[in-house]
Amino acid sequence: MKNIPLLLMGCGGVGRQLLQHIVSCRSLHAQQGVHLRVVGVCDSKALVFASDVITRELNDQTLSEVCRFKSNGSSLSALGDLGECIVNGNTESKRKVMDIAALLGKATGLAFVDCSASSETIRMLNQVVDMGCCVVLANKKPLTSTMEDYDKLVSYPRRIRHESTVGAGLPVIASLNRLLSSGDPVHRIIGSLSGTLGYVMSEVEDGKPFSEVVKVAKNLGFTEPDPRDDLSGMDVARKALILARLLGRRINLDSIKIESLYPDEMGPDAMSVEEFLGSGIVSLDNDVQERVKKASLKGNVLRYVCVIEGSRCEVGIQELPKDSPLGRLRGSDNVLEIYSRCYKKQPLVIQGAGAGNDTTAAGVLADILDIQDLFP
């Protein structure tokens, strides 16, 4: 049985789902000769870890209790006596995490898994890669930081996996890596990489007011608590930057042209969420509907997409043919069209659920298993 020590940073929706997947897949992984040994789980306030990280692990009962606590909105610092070790405090937790990474990195190897949404893990990740640890990411921020941080993180390419940073569990990163490593240059990528904005744009196509569609999306749980986090396009821009850097573009986030679906005067600094949804967003309906009509007269539809081609990298609304893969997109699926030498006229199309804690966590789990050959 191959044992893979694992330390999880971030125990929100994706992190909790990952732990649940690990517990529920025990028998499957045993058949495959693999055991994922969770030695620690860390949130922003505390770290829960095994008393001896070399030989022991957090048992499945403890992992289930951690998930229960976190699903109630509690911090790990509020956990009672689980028979395990707890370090409270952000600074103290980080210090202990680094101690564990240094110890296991040299002894047995460690899968350092970042399912947080924080930029605070960047400095830690830059250090653990030099300790012999493998890095698995669902967090986009480390890959969209400075080029210096990015170069450090990918300096050991065999020891990093980040499939879930773009398209949740869809095989986007793996497909691009296979094309590039086979010498098939990718010259154009266009894709709808936000389930939220994919849903919004396909719904307004049917004549529904933009404001009403956004409110319905929020009620369905498709958007962040503040829908402007989705409508700003920043999440799509981060995904576009990850793909562009994968293709060798040495650019930063501020190099990307980003179209926000609301004006600055309706931003979080100027309006509350309630004001935006109550009176602000309604004033955008006519402009969106006019753009929909203009596109329809040409036989096109509007989609919020990222485009990477040559030196061009931008995200925003584009008019696209109704009968194209992106034009046929409905609901919250992600669609990505990849054009290369081999896929010149008919692109390689990747489509499927591109959001959700379940699919994202499944992608992270698959990444962890993908690096098992690096462990003794």
* Known binding residues: 10-15, 140, 224
Mark the binding-site residues for NADPH, compressed into ranges: 140
Query: Is the C-alpha dihedral spanning 98, 131, 144, 346 positive or negative?
Result: negative
239 labelled catalytic: yes
The whole-angstrom separation of Cα 355 and Cα 71 is: 19
Given the residues 106, 239, 294, 322, the one annotated as active site? 239
Integer-rounded Cα Rg, in Å, for the chain is 22
Non-local (6+) Cβ contacts of 342 within 8 A are: 179, 184
Mark the binding-site residues for L-homoserine, compressed into ranges: 224
Contact (CB, 8 A) for 3 and 132: no
CA distances from 173 to 200, 206, 291, 371 (A): 25, 33, 33, 15
How buried is 156 (Cβ within 10 angstroms: 0-12 exposed, 13-18 middle, 19+ buried)? middle
The greatest distance separating any two alpha carbons of the chain, rounded to the nearest whole angstrom, comes to 67
Mark the binding-site residues for NADP(+), compressed into ranges: 10-15
CA distances from 228 to 122, 147, 196, 234, 249 (A): 25, 27, 11, 10, 28
Tell me which residues are annotated as active site.
239
